[in-house]
Amino acid sequence: MKKRWKILPADEEKILQLQQSLHINKNLCRILVQRGIDSFEKAHHFFRPELSQLHDPWLMKDMLKAVNRILSAINNNEKILVFGDYDVDGTTAVACMYQFLKSIYSNVAYYIPHRYREGYGVSRAGIDFALENNFTLIISLDCGIKSSALIAYAKQLDIDFVICDHHLPDDEIPDAIAVLDPKQKDCNYPYKELCGCGVGFKLMQAISDELNLPEESYLRYIDLVAVAIAADIVPIDGENRVLAFYGLKKVNENPAVSLKALLNLAGMQKRVHINSLVFIVAPRINAAGRMDDAKKAVQLFIEEDYNKALEYAGMLHNDNTERKEADSNITDEALLIIEGDILLKEKKTTVVYKEHWHKGVVGIVASRLIENYYRPTVVLTKSGDVIAGSARSVPGFNLYEAIHACREHLLGYGGHFAAAGLTMYENKLPDFIDSFERIVSETIHEDLLTPEIIIDAELSFKEISLAFLNIVDQMEPFGPGNMRPVFITKNVRDTGYSKVIKDQHIRFVLQQHDKIFTGIGFNMAEKFELLQKPVDVVYTLDLNEWNGEKMIQLKVIDIRSVT
């Protein structure tokens, strides 16, 4: 698939000023300036995060109300229910808050809604459970900000809510005892991009402060906060960077029993990075809710016995194996549908439907299809008497607005800029397909239908060294808002030793002037013939250790003939 290349601009004067204070490679300063790090002080905070950089939790709107209500419940021996969503952010948040409260108070339980019986977020069934079991306070985590009607229902039953959420609020804010969400317009909290588990962390921090508990009472859960940050794809800058940095430190030095079990079962023996949490830990946690019941994830997170944790980790591992099989089979079926339909192949949208597809993986399948056909995609399956499914967008296109414009054909929908869920009657599917294609065709910019590679800086091979890579690695943890730097080197040539491996990948051996680097380019075999002439190469840098020897290698993203 052809890709667009975009080299990021940066203020040259700021780059020179930063280089004069840091005395490091100019292109490293270029990357820092691009990321808003344009002074020695900012660079120091970036490279040397400190827990003291965490913001005062009392700055968050309604924090005092939340703490007072929870402490009142404890003092009056009320039953507290910790309620959270079934994804990674929700289950980690519930596990942290439940364990934290349990350490100071015994009358606490937790509740995770079932993905298919109850759906996303606060559920009527969850509130009814609270009523039947005499809970008078619910702390919702990673959900609640859009549940005004349900929270009003709970209030009628004399059940109070403290909401900890991070999603963008609607105009109507729920009538809860306290609403902790830094995205509220009138919330002055300095950092707006916390995940749901992060907001729960701030509440634990405030309760600890009020009760004069040691910092360890809430910092002990920082590894689970890092998992939530990684899995929820929130920006890893500002406060999230501090939390992710120290969370990863704990994962590598003294992880929770649950994480140790999950990582060991997955065969993870190397140093854990954010990518390890995204691609190894998060899918196993999410698989519990996709294939069965997400309560297993919380049971794993709160388990303190390693052998029992291994049993729960094994259940999640099996769920993930089932998820991968379903994901692979459905993706193959969906690709056959597209490839067998000439008209569908030429469209600017993909909408595919089979009634037997597993509802828990259709969102993943939509993302897989975009890797092959780069356009807004909807994957649908039968759910009871209706069709239900998930939609995924390409970067830069507002999918939610496109779905919203098709609402006359839908029973329900919800989501955000990049992803959405939707339901409809089966007889409405043809109308939805036509409407979705028309809306997207009218509103999407043609460039957005071609993947874009964001390039941070142009390097010459002679600039690349172990010292250079060491500074790049110190920019971790990487993620949205602080992605691993992508470089371009122009006019390089094949040494004659590059070759195709396993019929789909390229092992590169490239030379610029007198410097030679090896590299790997996954699924790039069709571009091998370009190496007959000089090329420009786009890549990230990686350290390869073999028999005690450290060598820099290129992880090649794309190549293009020199023009």
Q: What are 544's strand-pairing partners?
A: 551
pLDDT value at residue 289: 85
Q: Which amino acid is at 197?
A: C
pLDDT value at residue 119: 78
> 99 and 221 in contact (C-beta within 8 Å)?
yes
pTM: 0.92
Residues of the chain whose pLDDT is less than 70?
Answer: none
Element (H, E) at 536: strand 535-546
Residue spans of beta strands (DSSP E) within 372-504 = 377-383, 386-392, 412-415, 419-424, 452-455, 457-458, 487-494, 499-501
Q: What is the C-alpha radius of gyration for the chain, rounded to an integer number of angstroms?
A: 25
- Where are the alpha helices (H) located in 444-528, listed in sequence order? 466-473
pLDDT value at residue 414: 81
User: How do the residues of the chain divide into helix, strand and coil, expressed in percent and rounded to 5?
Assistant: 45, 20, 35
Q: Which amino acid is at 403?
A: I
DSSP code of residue 7? E
Q: Which of 138, 96, 134, 149 is nearest to 113 (CA)?
A: 138
What 3-state DSSP class applies to 405? helix
Question: Could you tell me which residues come within 8 angstroms of residue 245 by beta carbon, excluding any fewer than 6 positions away?
Answer: 49, 476, 477
Instruction: Using the CB atoms, write b or e for 96-134: b if 16+ within 10 Å.
Output: bbbbbbbeebeebbbbbbbbeebbbbbbeebbebbeeee
CA distances to 59, 185, 445, 502 from 173, in Å: 19, 11, 35, 55
What 3-state DSSP class applies to 305? coil
Element (H, E) at 8: none
What the block records as the tokens of 273 is 């990075």
pLDDT value at residue 199: 98
Percent residues over pLDDT 90 in the chain: 88
pLDDT in tens, 4-48: 999 999 999 999 999 999 999 999 999 999 999 999 999 999 999
Q: How many Å apart are CA 164 and CA 200, to the nearest integer? A: 6
pLDDT value at residue 120: 78
Q: What are 84's strand-pairing partners?
A: 141
What the block records as the tokens of 134 is 């005499």
Q: Which domains does the chain have, with CATH numbers?
A: 4-8+453-561 (2.40.50.460), 57-316 (3.90.1640.30), 340-449 (3.10.310.30)
Strands 412-415 and 350-353: unpaired
Q: How many CA atoms lie within 13 A of 245 on its CB side?
A: 22
Q: Which of 379, 332, 338 is nearest to 355 (CA)?
A: 379
Q: How many Å apart are CA 382 and CA 389, to the nearest integer? A: 8
pLDDT value at residue 344: 81
DSSP code of residue 136? E
